[in-house]
Amino acid sequence: GRLLTAASEMSAVQENAQTAAGAAAARIQELEGRLLTAASEMSAVQENAQTAAGAAAARIQELEGRLLTAASEMSAVQENAQTAAGAAAARIQELEGRLLTAA
């Protein structure tokens, strides 16, 4: 009787262990799936970040180029203004001289 009871208990323990092992295997599989999904999402996020960083770098370069162009144009405008001011001053002097001569 005791032998049969022990065998029955042993069988129940073995069945419980197999059930637990099956549940653990299913849980491991689920977690591995979630890990792969998370890794894929992380890779996509990293790729998006790199794309955004590349776009930002290109935009910065474009703006720096435009800034240099604007600075160069501003310098040319300033130079033209100084030349025009010099020419105007010379013309004023010439006209003043002619006025003095005429008077």
In this prediction, residue 3 has a pLDDT band, given cuts at 50, 70 and 90, of confident
CA separation, residue 18 to residues 26, 59, 62 (Å): 12, 61, 65
Amino acid occupying residue 93: Q
DSSP alpha helix (H) spans, 1-103: 2-102
Q: Give pLDDT tens digits for 11-45.
A: 999 999 999 999 999 999 999 999 999 999 999 99
